[in-house]
């Protein structure tokens, strides 16, 4: 989904762009190859996550899963209460009652594990769709920007698995430029800043990870 590098004028060589295309072999391509290289860098995944569209969609996703988060918390609290009761009253219980209550707690723990895993899987899947949707449009916009400004190579400075950018002058970093251009084109306003009232993610949100190219 996320690109390590975009060769211009090829329109995105990874799934971050709508589809891979062969480099042009016309006069424009010949002139670009003959001239000096002009290189830019971008923290591509960071750019995705800083767009107004991604932040809005991610906030919506958190709200969607908040009832499930509350449901899981309620079940977790119930398990904790039952466990404390079992530990505190075990000596006064008959063997049959103690075994029954222990089995009930174990069953609830298994249910919590299943429900948590299911919620996490569903959340991760929808999160990936949100990322992919913005990545495709951001990749296309970045490619168009690079072509118009004469860049022959754009490196992903945020992907430390496939490209390590040890040094780049600030003028070559187009991350914020692309974010601003994307926000302007989308017309989506910046979401309001979330304080304590913003709540916690519905389930554990995935941390930014460099995605492998395809």
Domains in the chain: boundaries: 5-193
Pairing mode, if any, of strands 153-156 and 39-42? Answer: parallel
Task: List residues bridging with 154 in a β-sheet.
Answer: 6, 40
CB atoms within 10 A of CB 18: 12
Percentage above 70 pLDDT, the chain: 71
The 3-state DSSP class for residue 41 equals strand
* The model's pTM: 0.70
pLDDT given for residue 35 in this prediction:
65
Q: Which band of pLDDT confidence, cut at 50, 70 and 90, is reported for residue 91?
A: confident
**pLDDT tens digit string along 150-159?**
999 999 987 6
d(CA 199, CA 55): 15
Helix axes 175-186, 95-148, angle to 10 degrees: 100
Percentage above 90 pLDDT, the chain: 57
pLDDT given for residue 202 in this prediction:
41
**pLDDT tens digit string along 97-150?**
889 999 999 999 999 999 999 999 999 999 999 999 999 999 999 999 999 999
Per-residue tokens: 181? 């251009």
User: What angle (nearest 5°) sits at the alpha carbon of residue 162, between those of residues 38 and 57?
Assistant: 90
pLDDT given for residue 160 in this prediction:
65
């Amino acid at each position: 989904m996320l690109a390590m590098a975009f060769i211009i004028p090829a329109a995105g060589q990874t799934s971050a762009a709508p589809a891979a295309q062969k480099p042009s072999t016309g006069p424009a391509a010949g002139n670009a190859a003959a001239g000096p290289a002009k290189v830019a860098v971008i923290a591509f995944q960071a750019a995705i996550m800083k767009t107004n569209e991604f932040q809005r969609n991610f906030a919506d996703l958190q709200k969607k899963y908040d009832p499930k988060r509350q449901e899981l918390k309620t079940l977790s609290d119930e398990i904790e209460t039952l466990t404390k009761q079992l530990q505190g009253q075990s000596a006064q219980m008959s063997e049959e009652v103690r075994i029954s209550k222990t089995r009930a707690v174990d069953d609830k723990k298994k249910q919590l594990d299943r429900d948590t895993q299911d919620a996490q899987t569903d959340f991760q899947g929808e999160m990936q769709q949100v990322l992919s949707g913005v990545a495709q449009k951001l990749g296309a916009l970045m490619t168009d920007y690079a072509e118009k400004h004469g860049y022959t190579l754009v490196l992903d400075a945020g992907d430390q698995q496939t490209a390590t950018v040890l040094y780049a002058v600030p003028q070559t970093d187009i991350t914020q430029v692309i974010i601003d251009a994307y926000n302007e084109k989308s017309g989506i306003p910046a979401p309001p800043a979330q304080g304590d009232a913003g709540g916690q993610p519905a389930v554990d949100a995935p941390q930014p990870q460099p995605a492998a190219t395809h």
